[in-house]
Structure 1
Amino acid sequence: MALFRSLLLMLIGSASSLCLSQQATSIAPTPIYKDQSRNFEMRAADLVARMTLEEKVSQMLNDAPAIPRLGVPKYEWWNEALHGVARAGDATVFPQAIGLAATFDPELVGKVARVISDEGRAKHHAFAKRDQRLRYQGLTFWSPNINIFRDPRWGRGQETYGEDPYLTSRMGVEFVKGLQGDYTDAPTHKYRKTDATAKHFAVHSGPEADRHRFDVYPSERDLYETYLPAFKALVQEANVASVMGAYNRVNGESASASQRLLIDVLRKDWGFTGYVVSDCDSIEDIFLYHKIVKTAEEAAALGVRKGTELNCGKTYHALVGAVKKGLITEAELDDSLRRLFLTRFRLGMFDADSDVPWAQIPYSINQSAEHDQLAHKAAQSSIVLLKNNGILPLKKSLKKIAVIGPTADEVMSLLGNYYGTPAAPVTILQGIRAAVPNTQVSYARGVDLVEGREDPRAATVIEPTYLRPSPNSTEQGLLGEYFKTADLTGAPLLTRIDARIAFRWDRGAPTDSLVARGEIAAVAGLPSDNYSVRWTGQLLPPVSGVYELNVSANDGVRLTINGKTLIDSWALAERLRSHSVAVELEAGKAYDIRLDYFEDIRDAEVRLGWRLPKAKAPFEEAIEIAQDAEVIIFVGGLTGDVEGEEMKVNYPGFAGGDRTDIRLPAIQQKLLEALHKTGKPVVMVLTGGAAMAIDWADQNLPAILMGWYPGQRGGNAMADVLFGDVNPAGRLPVTFYKADEKLPAFDDYSMHNRTYRYFSGEALYPFGYGLSYTRFSYSNLNVNQKTFAADESIKVRMQLKNTGKYAGDEVVQVYIKPINPQRARALKELRAVERVHLQKGEQQELSFTLLPNKDLLIYDEQKKAYAVDAGRYEIQVGASSSDIRLRQEIDISVP
C-alpha cells in the first residue's frame, strides 16, 4: 500500500509539473517581431537579432530564402515597373519613360504610377496566395531611372525622363509618390503601397559596353548641377524608399560601394533613411573588373561598409567568410539588415492581408478598362509633332492610304524595354485601319529595321479575314487552346478565339489577362514557363499559287496543313527564329490548319505569317502600293531589338545596345527617299527612344511625328493625332541634333556642349519643342518687381490665348538665363512648366513662383556648397527652349 501511495504521488507530481509547464508555455509572450502593437523599427530589430550569421547573410541578397523556424517567407526583391508592371505577365503598358517625359505633365505621370502600383499590389497578392514568390512578383520596384540622358547614343536613355535635371526631378517625384502611395486620396494608414527605387546613383549613362569597367571624373559643378539634383529631389521631396547604385566607378570608387556618394552625400547630406541596392552583379565588378580589391570577401565587405544593404547578384554570399576573416563585423551586417526588414514590415509582409488596406485592391483592376484608357491618354499626350506644312490632320475621307515601314505593324515598336504583356496591343497599322474603316489601307514592310539584320518577324502576319476557327463559322481567327503543360496534354485551361497569331509574352505566360477577363473560373492559370498553346481552324487563301508560310517563334513550334506537318521544330528550344515553307494553295478552298507552340523559359513569342504568290520583293512591293495611294504614312525608326541595355547587337549604326550613328538607319533612309520620289505626300512617323538626326526628312517631307515607344494603345493614339481627333502637344525632353553635328566623345561625362543647357550650336529640333494644329499667343508678362534678394519670391504672371482653329494643349515653359554671369554656368535652365488645355478662342492667366535660393543655385567649387550669384538674369517664357515669346530682366542682390 505504501508503495502504491508513493507511485500515485509521483504521478500526481509529474502531472502537476506537466500542467504548469503547459500553462507557462501557453502564456509565453508573443515575440516582438510578431507583435503588431510594436512599431516597425522594433519588430525589424527583434527579428534580425534572432537570426544566425548564415541566415542574416542569406537575407542580404535579392533572392532571399525562407527561414521557416522564424516564419520568414522567401522574398525576391527584384521587380521592375518602369512604365507598367514588367515581366510578370499581363499588365497595362504605358509609354516608355522617355515618352512619359514628352508629355511635360508631372500630374499625368503621377496618375500612371498610381495605376502601376495598383496592379503591382494586386498581382503580388495573387501570386502570394498561390505561394509564388519568384522574381518580378514582389513589391519592391527598381524604378524610376532618373539618370540624365546626356548623349543621344545611349541605348538606355529611353528609360529616363530626358536631358534636363528639373524636368527629370518633377517627373521622378510624382512617379515615386504614385508608386509608394503618397497621395492625398490614398488610404490613411501606416503601410507603404510599394517601394520605388531611384537609379542608377550616380553619373551613369553609358557606354553600355564599358559600364562594368569605366571610371568617371565629373567636375564638381557637373556633379552637383546635373547628375545629382534629381536624386536629391526624390530623396527629400518624395521620400523614395530605395536607391540603386551603378556599375561604374566615380572618382575611383565603385558607385555601389562609395563613401562619398552613398554615405557622405546620400545619408549625411540628404538625410536618406532607406536602403541601397546594388545594380545586378555590380558588387562582383568591384573585384572582377574594377580591381579595387582582390576577392569576393573583400568586395562584399566593402559593399556593406560603404553603404549597400542589398546585393543583386551573388557576391554577398561571401559575407559569411568575410565576417570570419575579420573584414566586417556581424554588427555591421545587423545595421544593414534592419533597414531591409524595416521596409518589408512597412509593406505589410509580416501582417495579415486583412490588416493591410493595399492588399484589398482586387485583381480585376489589372488591365482594367480605366487603366487602358489612361494608357491611351498618356500615349496621345506623348506624341510630338515635329513638322507640318498643313497636310495634317489627314482627312478621313481619303480613299487609299499606304502604310509602309518596318515598325508599322510591330508590337516591339510599342514596348521599348522593361515592359509587361499588354492584353491587346494596337500597332500603328492597326490603329490607322481602325480609325478609317472605309479607307483602303495597304501595308508593306518595305525593309528591315537595320541593314544586316535577319528579322524573324519580317513576314506579314496573316490577318483575321483569312482565318476561321471552324468550317462555316462566321467568326474570324483561330481557336486557341492554352495548356499548363509543355506538351499539350491534359485539359486546356482556356479556349478562346485569337484573331491574329502575333503574340509576345515577356518573361511569362498570358496567365493574368486570361484570369482578369474572367475566362478562367477556379483555375490558377498558366505557369510562367513550360506551357503550350494549340491553334486550330481553317486557312482561306485569297489567290491561287505558291505561298510562303512563315512561323517565327521562341522555343518549339509545329505547323500542320490538312494533316501534313510542314514545319516541325518542336524539339528545339531556342531563341526567336523564323521557319518558312512553300506550299501551293488554291483560292476558294479552305485548308485545315493547326499550329502548336510550347514555351520553355523566359520570353515567349509566336507569329504566323505568309508571303502571297508571286509577291514582289518587299522594297518593290512598298513602292507599288505607294504609287497607288493618295497619302503615304512611313512608319520607321527604332525598336528595343536594337537599342537598350547591354545588348549583343552589332549592326551598322548600333553596338552593344548603344548607337554609333544617330541618323535613321541607312536601309530605311533609302526606302524613304524612294517613297518621296513617287511624288505622293509622305507623312513620317518615328518610333524609338532617343533623338534622331533626320535632316533630310525635315527638308523634304511635309509632316513628321515622333511617337517614342507609346505603349499598348500607341497605334490608336497615333491615329488619333494623324486624323485630328487629338491635337498633338508632346514636347521634346531631349535635343535633336543635326546629322553633321560633331558630338562630344560618348565616354566624356563633361556637360560642355551637351544638352540645351550647354549646347552652343543650332539644334535640328530644340529641347521643349513641339508643334500643334492650333496657335497660341503669349502676352502681358508681369513680374512683381525688378530687384530681388535671394530669399524673396519672384512672381511671374502672363496671358495665354488659343488663337487658332482647334482646341488644344500648350506647354508653357519658364527658363532663367544669366546675363553676363560671373563664372561658367548653364546657358539657361528650365524652372517651371505648365500644360494648359484651351478651347478655340479661350484665354487664361498663368502664374509661376520662382525662388532665387532654389531656382538660381549654382555649385561653388571653392566653398563646396550651393550659392546664388548676384547679378542680372532674364526670365524667359515660351513654347520651347528656343521659342521664347516673353522676356523680363531682373536683378538679384546677395549680401
Structure 2
Amino acid sequence: MQGQDSTYLKVSSCCKHFTAYDLENWNGVDRHHFDAVVGDQDMMDTFMPPFKSCVEVGKASSLMCSYNEVNHVPSCAHKDFLTNTARATWGFQGYVTGDCGAVDDILYTHKYTSTTDETCKVALEAGLDLDCGNFLQEHLPQAITNGAVTQQDVDTALTHLFAVQFRLGMFDPDSLQPYRKITAADVNTPDHQVLALQAALESFVLLKNDGTLPLDKTKTKTIALIGPNALATTTMQGNYYGNAPYLVSPQAGLNKYVTTVYAKGCDINSQDKSGFSAACSAASSADATILVVGLDQSQESEGNDRTEINLPGVQNDLISQTTQCSKGPIIVVVMTGGPVDLSIPKSSQKVNSILWVGYPGQSGGDAIAKTIFGEYSPAGRLPYTIYPADYVNQLSMFDMNMRPSSTTPGRTYRFYTGTAVYPFGHGLSYTTFNYTFSKEPIQIQASDIQQHLQGDVYSPWSSKGMVDVTIYVQNTGNTKSDVLVQLYVTPADPGKNGNPLKFLAGFSRVHDVLPKQTISVVFPLTAHDLSLVDAHGSRTVLPGTWELSTQDTTKHMLILQ
C-alpha cells in the first residue's frame, strides 16, 4: 500500500485503534467511557502483537489511539503505549493521531484531566501528534500561552507530522515524486476489476457440503433465490467504503448462468413471516434453492455491538421452512462480517451446503455464481470461531480476559473450552487433500530457544527461524484447487497456567494444485513459535512434548529438551 520506492511513500497508512479497543456500545457503556482492564499476559500475546507487526513489518507511518481507557489511562494519554512502546521499543517513525473526538474524551468522559490546558499537555507529552477533532485546534493556543504546553512539545509533534509529509514528497517537484504520475486513468483498470473478483473468490469459505456443490450447469436450469441478502449490493461493501464502479448482486451473478426466481422471504431483522409463502412457492418448483442470509450495517457497524449472535429476526425460521418445501437441494450463502450461529443449517440434513462469503465487494455476485457452479473451487478458511448462540450469555464484554476462568469459557480458538459450531481455520474444498509430516520427531534444546529470545521479547517477525517444518500435501480428489495449508502448535500442558490450547504458527496458500499432485510447504519455526507469554508478559520456554498439527488434525511430535 505504501509503495516500494526507497525514498517516497505512495500513501500514509494508519493502524488503528491502539489498543484493546473491543467495545463499541454494550449494556449501557459506550467506547467513550469504557475502561479496558487488561493483564500483562493478554496485553503481550493478544492486544499488542497486531500493532507491533504494523510498525515492524508493515512500516506504518501512522497510529491512531482509541477512545477507550486501558488500565485506567485514556489511550490518547497513554505515554507507555504511544512513546515508550511504539517509538522506543518498536522503532515507530510516524505520527500518532487521536480518533475523532478521542482527545475530548480524556477530559469530558474519562475525566482523566480537569482542564483543557491539562488535557493538551497530557496528550502531547504522551506522544499524540494530531487530533482528528477540534479539541487541540480550539484549546492548544491558549494552553501554549498559559505555559501548560511547551514549545518543545509542539515542535516534537510537528516534526513527526512534517516527516511523513516529506516522505510523501509533498514539498518536492512532480518530477521527483514517482507516485504523482498516477492519474484517474490508473484507477478501476481491467486488472483491478480482475483483482476484485479474485479477492472475493479466494475469501469464500465452504463450511458444509455433501457433494451438492458445485451445481451442474447442464442440469440446473432454475434456482429459487431467497433471503434478505439475495439482492444485496451496498451490503456487500461492508463498512467504510468508496464509490464502487459497479456492484454485482448475487441475483445478477447467478442470472448469468440460470434463471432465478426471487422471493425475499424476510428482512434482515424482522419478525414478519408474510414472505415465507412466496419463498416456499419458489423453492417448490425450482431445480435448486439458494438462501442468501446474514447481516448488514443495521446489525454490525461502528458504534454498535451486537447482543446476540443468532441470525437475526426470523432468518432461521425461513431456512427451516424452506427445507420443508424445496424440491431440489438447498444451499445457504452466509453474507456477514462477524460470526453468526449456524447450528440450524449445519444440523439440518436438508441443507446440503453452506458457503460463507463475508462482504465480498463489487464483484460479489459473480464470485458467488462462479463458486456455486464450479468455475472456482473454494479454499478459504474461517478467520474466526463461530460460537453457539449462548456464548454471549457466558461472558461479559466488560471482561477483557482471553483465558477461561471458573465462570467463562475463554475467547478465540486459542483458549475457548467450549464446542464451536465451526472452528477457526475450518474450510472445505471441491476436492480432498491429504497432509503428512516427515517421520522423525523434531527435537530442540530449550536453552537455544531462550538465547534466540534475548532482545526479541515477543516478536515473531524479528525472530530467527530455528527449524524448518515441511508439510506434504496431496490432492487426492479429481478437481484442481487452491489449498490453504495451516500449521498449528500445541504447547506442553495446553490449557494449564494460561497456556493456549493451540495457536497458528503459519499458513500458506498454494494455487492450482492438480489432481493427484503432491506439493510441499515449508514453515520456519521461530523462537516466538516455540515459547509462551507468562503471567508477567514475558516470553518463556516450556520444556516438554509439544505437538504440531494441520487443519485436518494430522499430528507431529516436537520435543523441547
Structure 2 length-normalised TM:
0.91
Give the corresponding residue for 2:524. Answer: 849
Alpha-carbon distance, 1:728 to partner: 0.5
CA contact (8 A) 1:872 1:890 kept: yes
1:826 aligns with 2:483: no
Pairing 1:757–2:414 present = yes
* 8 Å Cα contact 2:205/2:380 also seen in 1: yes
1:19-418 to 2 correspondence within 5 Å?
Answer: 179-182=1-4, 188-208=5-25, 210-317=30-137, 318-397=139-218, 398-418=220-240
The one of 546, 556, 560 equivalent to 1:888 is 556
Contact 1:286/1:299 (CA < 8 Å) preserved in 2?
A: yes
Amino acid at match of 2:277: E
* Matched letter for residue 888 of structure 1: H
Q: Deviation at 1:780?
A: 4.2
CA drift of 1:415 comes to: 0.7
Partner of residue 872, structure 1: 545
Aligned partners of 2:534 and 2:276: how far apart in 1?
A: 58
1:249, 1:785 → 2: CA distance?
44
Deviation per residue, 1:374-412 (Å, 9 max, x gap): 000000001110101111111112122110111111212
Does 2:433 align with 1:776?
yes
CA shift, 1:783, in A, is: 5.8
Out of 677, 684, 690, the position equivalent to 2:338 is: 690
Indicate conservation of the 8 Å contact 2:205/2:428, yes or no: yes
| Contact 1:774–1:807, Cα closer than 8 Å, also in 2 | yes
**Which digits, 9 at most, give the CA deviation of each residue in 1:764-788, with x for residues without a partner?**
1100000111000112425684233
Match of 1:739 among 389, 406, 411: 389
* Other structure's SS at 2:438 match: strand
Deviating 4+ runs (over 3 angstroms): 616-619, 740-743, 782-785
Matches of 1:727 and 1:743, distance apart in 2: 37
Fraction of identical pairs, as percent: 35
1:649 — aligned with what? none
The residue type equivalent to 2:524 in the other structure is T
Counterpart contact for 1:393–1:724, Cα < 8 Å: yes
> Which of 454, 476, 495 is the aligned partner of 1:803?
476
Amino acid at match of 1:449: I
Indicate how the Cα distance of structure 1 residues 784 and 275 shifts in structure 2: closer, same or farther if over 3 A, else same: farther
The alpha carbon displacement at 1:870 in A equals 2.7
CA distance in 2, matches of 1:332, 1:222: 32
SS of 2:314's equivalent in the other structure is helix
Structure 1 CA distance for aligned equivalents of residues 234 and 293 of structure 2: 12
Question: Is 2:498–2:534's contact at 8 Å kept on the other side of the alignment?
Answer: no
What is the identity, as a one-letter code, of the residue corresponding to 2:335? T
Report the counterpart of residue 674 of structure 1 in structure 2: 321
Task: Work out the CA distance in 2 between the residues paired with 1:804 and 1:212.
Answer: 53
Task: Name the SS for the 1:353 alignment partner.
Answer: coil
CA contact (8 A) 2:42 2:402 kept: yes
Give, in angstroms, the shift of residue 617 of structure 1: 5.7
Counterpart Cα distance in 2 of 1:823 and 1:638 = 38
The structural deviation recorded for 1:861 is: 4.1
Q: Match for 1:831: what amino acid?
A: A
Question: Residue 805 of structure 1: SS of its match in structure 2?
Answer: coil
Native 8 Å contact 2:7 2:167 kept in 1 = yes
Change (3 A) 1:347 1:867: same
Query: What's the CA shift string for 1:399-458, capped at 9, x where partnerless?
Result: 221101111112123110011111111011110001x1xx321112121111179xxxxx
C-alpha deviation, 1:888, in angstroms: 2.1
Give the match for residue 662 of structure 1: 309
Q: Distance in 1 between matches of 2:274 and 2:499?
A: 55
Say which one has the larger Rg. 1
Q: Aligned pair 1:724/2:398, yes or no? A: no
Give the letter aligned to residue 372 of structure 2.
L
Q: CA deviation at 1:634?
A: 0.5
Q: Is this contact kept in 1: 2:432–2:476, CA < 8 A?
A: yes
Deviation at 1:300, TM superposition (A): 2.0
SS at match of 1:854: coil
Q: What is the count of residue pairs matched by the alignment?
A: 528
Structure 2 residue corresponding to 1:420, chosen from 236, 242, 263: 242
Is the CA contact 2:498–2:535 (under 8 Å) kept in the aligned structure 1?
no
- Checking the alignment, whether the CA contact within 8 Å between 2:204 and 2:379 is kept in structure 1 is yes
Match of 2:270 in 1: 451
> 1:403 touches 1:444 (CA, 8 Å); kept in 2?
yes
Matched letter for residue 736 of structure 1: I
Q: Deviations over 1:92-118 (max 9, x none)?
A: xxxxxxxxxxxxxxxxxxxxxxxxxxx
Please state how far the C-alpha of 1:872 moved relative to its aligned partner.
Answer: 2.5
Once residues 452 and 212 of structure 1 are traced to their aligned partners in structure 2, the CA distance between those partners, rounded to angstroms, is 33
Residue 217 of structure 1 aligns with an amino acid whose one-letter code is V
Question: Which residue of the partner structure matches residue 441 of structure 1?
Answer: 260
| 2:24–2:302 Cα contact (<8 Å) kept | no
Alpha-carbon distance in structure 2 between the residues aligned to 1:245 and 1:868: 32
Q: Does 1:836 align with 2:497?
A: no
Secondary structure of 1:767's match?
A: coil
Provide TM-score, normalisation by structure 1. Answer: 0.57
Query: Can you list the C-alpha shifts for 1:528-567, whole angstroms capped at 9, x where unaligned?
Result: xxxxxxxxxxxxxxxxxxxxxxxxxxxxxxxxxxxxxxxx
- 2-side partners of 1:332 and 1:231: how far apart? 24
Change (3 A) 1:295 1:829: same
* Structure 1 residue 801 displacement after superposition: 0.5
Asked if the contact 1:783–1:797 (Cα under 8 Å) also holds between the matched residues in 2, the reply is: no
Q: Distance in 2 between matches of 1:227 and 1:255?
A: 13
Residues 234-287 of structure 1, C-alpha deviations (whole Å, 9 max, x = no match): 212222111110100001111011021112211222222211010110000111
711-720 or 814-823: which moved more?
A: 814-823
- Which ranges of structure 2 fall in alignment gaps of 5 or more residues? 404-409, 453-464
Asked if the contact 2:107/2:115 (under 8 Å) is kept, the reply is yes
Q: Which moved more, 1:361-370 or 1:276-285?
A: 361-370
SS of equivalent to 1:873: strand
Q: Which moved more, 1:297-306 or 1:401-410?
A: 297-306
Q: How far, CA to CA, are the matches of 1:626 and 1:859 in structure 2?
A: 53
223-232 or 864-873, which deviates more = 864-873
Q: 2:540 is matched by which residue type in structure 1?
A: A
Query: Aligned-pair distance for 1:219?
Result: 1.1
